[in-house]
């Protein structure tokens, strides 16, 4: 028994090692680097601490902190994020109760006065008698010749020439704890009472333009800083959390482990888990058997959310690859006597799995005629979808208004299928699942495929492993659907794993084994499994027992994710999610 390694363009059996998948849009994944490097051990030059609700000021690649020492005296420190050096600033005007950057100057609030300060020298340029709203810290923002000060769930609006209160602006959320300037006329509203919610509030329009949930410690939320159009920084000496978030499609995505963006800008993948994948096949002869052959389904080599490198395959065997990227290994078995057993190391590879987020253009259109020409198999009617069944047709009418965009269609579909209660099913067709309003992952997939194929949107079924609690093995335990979109390729529709109702977004980090237009694999007879006798040897299935075990030796985030950690740094509980997802 021996293993051999495939070279880069090696042709074996019926397929080449690398092939462009049908419907794939070639694109590179580009690593997005953090703006700054972050310290493994951050300490102020003098012993002191920052207050939880006091903001950190960011200006020209530096952070400014107000710290309090044991004698309860306050000092101001500038920390240069590029050099990692400190500079103490001379400030003798009293405790700061709020600050903001305003026209390349700092506007600083004390108990009784407002000061304009030059950032480099910290010389006072101007001062005005304007009492603070509260003896405690209150955030403020400068925009359009006005000063906006947080006062509970409203903004006090001051004219910056007269310092008179011009108006009171109600805020669209309760329990606002922080305000941070975003764009010229936009303010970010923070609240840890709503699950670390950040809302983007338009000052001139008086409404919310977007909202994001920040997956970090609720204390670290108060140290979240906007540093560029698509970057946010958490730098919190209290929780020892340091790192960046990437703003993509109205989502703040942690950049802790690795974040890659597709070269066309349509997707990001992030928070990878690396595994050494090992296929082990145990064979037990129940009767004497002649020479025979078996098929083993291998994982797809490269998708938008997984990649495989340094692969080795059992020899002798033959490798095949179809036009959709499905891979199988055919293994010949020598004669075996009754009671004889053996274990074969079928396959080994280094696997990387990612969370994936596609950003769908709201204006993408549906070209049914072109889809039918390109993907007849992925649009075909069949027993499991029953496109012409009245139940499917009526549900489609209920969900989809006329002239809906393709993005809206996918959103409506995801919202509906994710609302169907999970219940282990019998692989019943889509109309029956719609009627009974429950089903397993396969049945959820049938409903998705029926609704979308009925509109002319190509769909296919995905055989995959959905991570289970602390499992050391992988298996075919789940199914979901991919849909094809012109200019994008195949994207996931996953109604049972987080975040469930967002088309093109999955945090599950599945391991994909096969993509299929129908529920059956062309080389696997007799149901959902990854190993089976070939068609010619299928009659021997009762005489030979086959057990395939897929082992994973893993590194990467599991029970919790980390943000901005350096090698050797203690991990922080910033995001409580990750590999340990319960299979529904």
pLDDT single digits (tens) 48-57:
899 999 999 9
Which segments of 24-177 are extended strands (E)?
29-31, 57-59, 62-68, 74-80, 85-89, 98-102, 105-109, 113-117, 124-129, 140-143, 146-151, 154-159, 165-170
CA distance 360 to 485: 9
Q: Is the dihedral of CA 246, 252, 253, 254 positive or negative?
A: positive
pLDDT at 509 over 50: yes
37 φ, ψ to 5°?
A: -95, 150
DSSP 49: B
CA distance 506 to 516: 19
Contact between residue 515 and residue 302 where contact means Cβ atoms under 8 Å apart: no
The number of residues in the chain equals 584
Say if strands 224-228 and 85-89 run parallel, antiparallel, or are unpaired.
unpaired
Q: CA angle 551-553-559, nearest 5°?
A: 110
Q: What is the pLDDT of residues 331-346, one digit of tens each?
A: 999 999 999 999 999 9
- Which pLDDT band, with edges at 50, 70 and 90, does 553 fall under? confident
**What's residue 21's pLDDT?**
59
- Which pLDDT band, with edges at 50, 70 and 90, does 470 fall under? low
Average pLDDT over residues 523-528: 92
What is the end-to-end Cα distance of the chain in Å, rounded?
A: 39
> Comparing 87 with 23, which gets the higher pLDDT?
87
DSSP 194: G
Nearest to 544 by CA among 345, 344, 315: 344
- Lowest average pLDDT, out of 36-40, 160-164, 233-237, 385-389, goes to 36-40
390 φ, ψ to 5°?
A: -60, -35
**What's residue 472's pLDDT?**
85
Contact between residue 236 and residue 573 where contact means Cβ atoms under 8 Å apart: no
Class of residue 475 by CB neighbours under 10 A (exposed 0-12, middle 13-18, buried 19+): middle
Beta-bridged to residue 208, according to DSSP, are 201
- Which pLDDT band, with edges at 50, 70 and 90, does 23 fall under? low
**What's residue 39's pLDDT?**
86
Average pLDDT over residues 137-166: 95
**What's residue 542's pLDDT?**
92
- Which pLDDT band, with edges at 50, 70 and 90, does 46 fall under? confident
Q: Please state, rounded to an integer, the average pLDDT across all residues of the chain.
A: 89
pLDDT at 501 over 70: yes
Beta-bridged to residue 298, according to DSSP, are 327
> Comparing 559 with 121, which gets the higher pLDDT?
121
CA distance 250 to 252: 7
Beta-bridged to residue 371, according to DSSP, are none
DSSP 537: G
- Lowest average pLDDT, out of 222-226, 258-262, 558-562, goes to 558-562
**What's residue 6's pLDDT?**
38
- Lowest average pLDDT, out of 68-72, 292-296, 325-329, 372-376, goes to 68-72
Contact between residue 372 and residue 379 where contact means Cβ atoms under 8 Å apart: yes
C-beta atoms surrounding 249 within 10 Å: 15
Which pTM value belongs to this model? 0.87
DSSP state string for 505-518: EE-S--EEEEEESS
Q: What is the pLDDT of residues 270-315, one digit of tens each?
A: 999 999 999 999 999 999 999 999 999 999 999 999 999 999 999 9
Which segments of 152-266 are extended strands (E)?
154-159, 165-170, 178-181, 186-191, 197-202, 207-213, 224-228, 231-236, 241-248, 251-254, 259-262
């Amino acid at each position: 028994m021996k293993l051999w390694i495939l070279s880069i363009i090696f042709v074996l059996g019926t397929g080449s090692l690398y092939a462009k998948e049908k419907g794939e849009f070639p694109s590179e994944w580009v690593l997005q680097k953090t703006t700054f490097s972050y310290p493994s051990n951050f300490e102020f030059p003098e012993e002191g601490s920052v207050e939880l609700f006091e903001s950190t000021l960011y200006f020209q690649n530096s952070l400014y902190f107000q710290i309090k020492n044991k004698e309860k005296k306050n000092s101001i420190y500038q920390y240069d994020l590029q050099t990692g050096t400190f500079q103490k600033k001379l400030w003798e005007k009293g405790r700061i109760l709020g600050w903001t950057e305003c026209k390349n100057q700092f506007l600083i609030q004390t108990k009784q006065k407002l000061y304009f300060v030059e950032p480099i020298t910290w010389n006072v340029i101007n001062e005005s008698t304007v009492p603070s709203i509260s003896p405690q810290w209150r955030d403020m923002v400068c925009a359009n010749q006005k000063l906006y000060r947080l006062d509970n769930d409203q903004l006090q609006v001051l004219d910056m020439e007269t310092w008179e209160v011009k108006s009171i602006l109600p805020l669209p959320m309760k329990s606002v704890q922080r305000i941070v300037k975003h764009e010229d006329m936009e303010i970010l509203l923070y609240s840890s009472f709503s699950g670390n919610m950040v809302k983007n509030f338009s000052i001139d329009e008086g409404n919310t333009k977007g909202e994001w949930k920040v997956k970090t410690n609720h204390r670290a939320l108060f140290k979240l800083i906007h540093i560029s159009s698509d970057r946010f920084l958490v730098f919190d000496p209290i929780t020892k959390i340091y790192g960046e978030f990437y703003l993509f499609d109205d989502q703040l995505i942690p950049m802790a482990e690795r974040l890659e963006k597709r070269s066309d800008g349509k997707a990001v993948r992030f928070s990878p888990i690396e595994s050494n994948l090992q296929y082990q096949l145990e064979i037990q002869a129940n009767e004497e058997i002649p020479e025979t052959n078996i098929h083993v389904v291998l994982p797809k080599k490269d998708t938008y959310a997984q990649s495989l490198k340094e692969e080795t395959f059992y020899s002798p065997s033959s490798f095949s690859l179809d036009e959709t990227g499905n891979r199988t290994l055919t293994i010949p078995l020598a004669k075996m006597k009754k009671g004889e057993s053996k274990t074969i190391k079928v396959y080994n590879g280094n696997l990387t799995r990612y969370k994936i987020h596609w950003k769908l253009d709201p204006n993408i259109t549906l070209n049914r005629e072109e889809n039918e020409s390109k993907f007849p198999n992925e649009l075909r009617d069949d027993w499991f979808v029953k496109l012409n069944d009245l139940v499917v047709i009526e549900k489609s009418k209920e969900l989809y208004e006329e002239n809906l965009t393709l993005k809206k269609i996918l959103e409506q579909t995801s919202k509906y299928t994710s609302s169907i209660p999970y219940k282990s099913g019998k692989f019943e067709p889509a109309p029956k699942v719609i009627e009974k309003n429950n089903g397993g992952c396969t049945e959820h997939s049938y409903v998705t495929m029926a609704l979308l194929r009925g509109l002319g949107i190509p769909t296919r079924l995905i055989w995959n492993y959905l991570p289970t609690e602390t499992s050391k093995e992988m298996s075919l335990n789940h199914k979901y659907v991919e849909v094809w979109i012109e200019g994008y390729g195949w994207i996931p529709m996953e109604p049972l794993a987080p975040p469930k109702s967002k088309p093109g977004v999955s945090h599950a980090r599945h391991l994909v084994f096969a993509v299929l237009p129908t529920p059956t694999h062309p080389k696997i007879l007799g149901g959902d499994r990854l190993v089976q006798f070939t068609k010619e040897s299928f009659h021997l299935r009762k005489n030979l027992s086959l057990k395939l075990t897929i082992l994973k030796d893993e590194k990467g985030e599991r029970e919790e994710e980390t943000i901005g950690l350096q090698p050797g740094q203690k991990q922080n509980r910033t995001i409580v999610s990750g590999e340990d997802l319960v299979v529904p």
